[in-house]
Amino acid sequence: MGKVLGKLAYQPVGLVLGMTAGAVAGLVFKQVWKRVGGDGDAPDATDEDRGWGEILVAAALQGAIFAVVKAAVDRGGAIGVRRVTGRWPA
């Protein structure tokens, strides 16, 4: 399988993995925020009753969780593709 064909074959896998990573990251963030934030819902940037600090901490935490989950899922997907095809999907 050529490099271009390998990339094309990985695109649908990467798309599904990316959507899954986003959903998992959202669930993880909600659970973490319940413990860190003290209440059930994370603040929205436009939430008038929340301060800058709480909003920025929530955004940073959400971004960090999303990045870690996405990297782990993408790496796992690439390893899976290599096991099936024998080539790294680069």
Residue pLDDT, tens place only, 27-78: 999 999 999 877 778 888 999 999 999 999 999 999 999 999 999 998 998 8
Tokens at 17, concatenated: 């993995």
Give the span between the Cα atoms of 68 and 26, in whole angstroms: 12
Tokens at 89, concatenated: 């999907």
Question: Is residue 35 a contact partner of residue 19, using CB atoms and an 8 Å limit?
Answer: no
Confidence band of 84 (pLDDT split at 50, 70, 90) = confident
Q: What is the pTM of this model?
A: 0.80
Give the span between the Cα atoms of 87 and 79, in whole angstroms: 9
Tokens at 36, concatenated: 């860190």
Strand locations in 13-62, DSSP E? none
